[in-house]
Amino acid sequence: MTYSVAIAGASGYAGGELLRLLAEHPHFDVRTVTAHSNAGQPLVAVQPHLRGYTHLTLKDTTVDNLAGHDVVFLALPHGASGAIADQLPADTLVVDCGADHRLESEADWDAFYGGEFHGAWTYGVPELPRLTGTQRDRLAKTRRIAAPGCNASTVALSLAPGIRAGVIEATDLVSVLAVGPSGAGKAAKTHLLASEILGSANPYAVGGTHRHTPEIEQSLRWAGGAEPTISFTPVIVPMSRGILATSTARIVPGTSAAAVREAWEDAYAGETFVQLLPEGQFPRTADVLGANTALIGLAVDEHAGRVVVVAAVDNLVKGTAGAAIQSTNLALGLAESTGLPVNGVAP
Ligand SMILES: NC(=O)C1=CN([C@@H]2O[C@H](COP(=O)(O)OP(=O)(O)OC[C@H]3O[C@@H](n4cnc5c(N)ncnc54)[C@H](OP(=O)(O)O)[C@@H]3O)[C@@H](O)[C@H]2O)C=CC1
Ligand SMILES: CC(=O)N[C@@H](CCC(=O)OP(=O)(O)O)C(=O)O
């Protein structure tokens, strides 16, 4: 079976990564690619690394151009996909890589994004531990998928197992991330000029203002945290891709170190794309570049009474395009790992 695919925002980083991964997928045929300022250009003029797509030209991002495909991926700036998605047929599988359909709470949307609220779709992180049912089962029944924010899914995967198992306190969570600038997209931003970020580590959205805060807390509520509260600080570092998230949480008093580790082991046993490393080992971003893999290392800091979880993810693969395709596979009843790389690119 071959599914026809349209990608909106194909000239951007997320759209480009969708195209790179879909080229290796046996069941998808990318027929339409759209853009905004680059509409009218040959795709390879804008994405010169994607030589397999010399036959495609970027069209305008309109409902007419996107309708008529089995699957539509929207890789557009926040606020641009909601209105388009509203007009696509109900039986089309639509996957939004932006934030427009991630949050269940309109108050959170208003506080962190603003503009029209379009309501939440099924969140595209299959491995996310939930108190009731599984995220995987929810994805298998949907025609509307909200791919995650890359920082948000990395942190949620880091902490949800401990909350699900009741071994950490959900009200005292801290996460600091080293992130690559490709997370911010291709559009020029002065604070992301090479002259600003090369040779420097730059914190941003400090003090609870980052828009992924409610997205993380939403995922942790699904895992059973009654009032999850996270202090979350990203730091841009000079690597084009990658996220290294260090998250810590207070261990519920009386819980053994073995029971803490067991929570993560149980959550991710048998998972292909989320792997807990053996005790004493911690991931590097270099280990997951190009892979749809989240690697997690865990230590119990007995002195501080906290668990320390270190997670590495490629923001454009497991953080966006890979998660989107993995979720799409589930929604179409395909094997979940079809077309997705578990191995990274090194050095
Ligand atoms: N980069 C990442 O690591 C991640 C990105 N995402 C999300 O994916 C989405 C795309 O991000 P990313 O690829 O990084 O961004 P880019 O800036 O790299 O790409 C944006 C794309 O949207 C198009 N576009 C810009 N403005 C408009 C508009 N007004 N209407 C329609 N299309 C428009 C651009 O077209 P043109 O080039 O022709 O102007 C381009 O194709 C965002 O919502 C982002 O938050 C999610 C997780 C991680
Ligand atoms: C470096 C940088 O700016 N990174 C982005 C991550 C983008 C992402 O994960 O996703 P969404 O924009 O789709 O939410 C940020 O922190 O906002």
What 3 state SS string does 215-268 have?
HHHHHHHHCCCCCCCEEEEEEECCCCCCEEEEEEEEECCCCCHHHHHHHHHHHH
99 lines ligand 2 (CB under 6 A): yes
Architecture of domain 3-148+318-331: 3-Layer(aba) Sandwich (3.40)
Q: Choose the catalytic residue: 66, 95, 150, 263.
A: 150
Among 49, 320, 327, say which to mutate for ligand 1: greatest number of ligand atoms within 8 Å of CB. 320
CB 192 within 8 A of CB 236: yes
The pLDDT value recorded for residue 193 is 87
Structure token pair of residue 143 = 């025609």
Q: Is 97 a catalytic residue?
A: no
Q: pLDDT value at position 196? A: 87
pLDDT score of 70? 98
Give me the residue spans of the domains in the chain: 3-148+318-331, 151-315
Nearest CA-CA partner of 19 in 342, 339, 344? 339
Q: Is the CB of 74 under 6 A from ligand 2?
A: no
Which residue, among 130, 127, 171, 165, has the nearest Cα to 256 in the 3D structure?
165
Q: Is the CB of 184 under 6 A from ligand 2?
A: yes
Each residue's pLDDT tens digit, 126-174: 999 999 999 999 999 999 999 999 999 999 999 999 999 999 999 999 9
**Least confident interval from 75-84, 182-191, 292-301:** 182-191
CA distance 286 to 256: 32
pLDDT of residue 292: 98
CA-wise closest residue to 162 among 103, 215, 230, 213: 230
Nearest ligand to the CA atom of 187: 1
Residues 78, 100: contact at Cβ < 8 Å?
A: yes
Residue 167: predicted pLDDT: 98
Please work out whether the CB of residue 183 comes within 6 Å of at least one atom of ligand 2: yes
Which residues have CB under 6 Å of ligand 1?
A: 9-15, 35-38, 61, 75-78, 80, 97-98, 149-150, 182-183, 185-187, 315-316, 319-320
pTM of the model: 0.98
Q: Is the pLDDT confidence value at 188 over 80?
A: no
Instruction: Evaluate whether the domain defined by 151-315 bears CATH number 3.30.360.10.
Output: yes
- In ligand 2, the atom with minimum distance to the C-alpha of 102 is 14
Which pLDDT score, from 0 to 100, does residue 215 have?
Answer: 98
Whether the per-residue pLDDT at 49 is higher than 80: the answer is yes
Ligand whose nearest atom lies closest to the CA of 241: 1
In whole angstroms, what separates CA 45 from the centre of its chain?
Answer: 27
Check pLDDT > 80 for residue 222: yes
**Mean of pLDDT over the chain:** 97
Half-sphere exposure of 57 (CA within 13 A, CB side): 5
Domains 3-148+318-331 and 151-315 share a fold: no
**Which of 155, 212, 241 has the most ligand 2 atoms within 8 A of CB, as the residue to mutate?**
212
Burial class (CB in 10 A: 0-12, 13-18, 19+), 308: middle
**Spatial CA neighbour of 327 closest among 344, 313, 340:** 340
**The ligand 2 atom nearest the CA atom of 320:** 9
